[in-house]
Amino acid sequence: MASKICLVLHRKSANELPVKEAVKYVRQQGIDLRVRIPWNKKDKPRVVQEALDAGAKRVVAGGGDGTINAVVNALVGKGKKAPRASMGILPLGTANDFAHGLGLPVDDLGQCLEIACTRKPKKIDVGRAGSRCFINVTSGGFGAEITATTPVDMKKKLGGAAYTIMGLIKAFDLQPYTGRLLVPGEEPVEGSMLVMAVGNSRLAGGGFEVAPKARLDDGLLDLAVVQNLGIADVAQLAKELETPDSPDNQFLAYRQLAEFTLEADREVHFNLDGEPTSKSKLKFSVLPKHLRVVF
């Protein structure tokens, strides 16, 4: 396996000293690690495919959640068959929510890269939102709008939690989205939404546990919807996140589903593992235990 590992590295991270030291460290352990640096976001699928064509059995995503998402989509494609390569993670993002959720030692890049190169992979679910894949969380509503419109440099200065809170504060001043939840075999559920999360894993927005019951291999996606809410209700919402499926919850609606569609009366901003999009209707589904990931 040592000669069959490729690190796909975010271009802006390539010259950072901790990254260079991590690569040097694993190579000193006798691991023949190839490093490829895509020119831009659109170039990442090509680089991953070239690595696979060259015989890579493991592709390590070196970057933030957006880079991980790009590698996942390149590996999974249309999802008709399981990828022939496994995936490792070198967390280099602002929040590194997925890596934190996996329990990776995100403050030790050398150890993270060694784990990515050497540890046995585990099968996890892959979520699908429309034609795109995600393995962490898809968020929607005003928080996702803030994330989509906040410059990268500002995100780094604020930190993930800060700009997510900005999104919540903005949501208090705006009219909620209205729409419906469509689940196969059930009647449509009408309702309103300020913010929402569809979790394959638990964490988003800088460590917030937005889908507390989510598991990576249960064949389900966790849908959490925050409905009408005022600033004075935030403490109550925090309590409801501790018991997300309680029938007594006032502001949080929580479901675990294998397939559903969200339909809104106007376009909603969504953020798929760091990749923004805008839709008025989006179908979600899951590919059970479809991707092998190292953690």
Known catalytic residues are: 275
Cα–Cα distance, 20 to 25 (Å, whole number): 9
Which residues have a Cβ under 8 Å from the Cβ of 139 and sit 6 or more positions away? 147, 195, 196, 197, 198, 204, 205, 210, 270, 271
Q: Is the dihedral of CA 192, 195, 197, 202 positive or negative?
A: negative
Dihedral (C-alpha) 132, 264, 168, 68: value to the nearest 10 degrees?
A: 0
Adjacent-strand bridge partners of 182: 261
Q: Which two tokens stand for residue 279?
A: 């839709």
Say which amino acid occupies 273: D
With 0-12 / 13-18 / 19 or more C-beta atoms within 10 angstroms meaning exposed / middle / buried, residue 129 is buried
In this structure, are residues 87 and 73 in contact, taking their beta carbons and an 8 Å threshold?
no
